Amino acid sequence: MGSHQLSFAQITILREDIAEVVVNEGVEMDMTMVNEYHTFLLGNLKAPFSLLINKIYSYSYTFLAQRNLAELEEIHSMAVVSYTSTSKQSTLALADGIVRDIPWNLQIFNDKDSALHWVESQQNNLQVN
pLDDT digits (tens, 9 = 90+) for 65-108: 998 998 999 999 999 999 988 888 888 888 887 777 788 899 99
- Digit-coded pLDDT (tens) for 14-41: 999 999 999 999 999 999 999 999 999 9
Where do the H-state alpha helices sit in 1-129?
A: 31-44, 63-68, 85-96, 112-128
Tally the domains of the chain: 1
**Is the pTM for the entire model greater than 0.85?**
yes
Q: How many CA atoms lie within 13 A of 80 on its CB side?
A: 21
CATH number of the domain within which 34 lies: 3.30.750.24
**Residue span of the structural domain in which 13 resides:** 2-128
Positive or negative torsion for Cα 72, 75, 80, 85 = positive
List C-alpha distances in Å: 59 to 50, 54, 87.
21, 12, 9
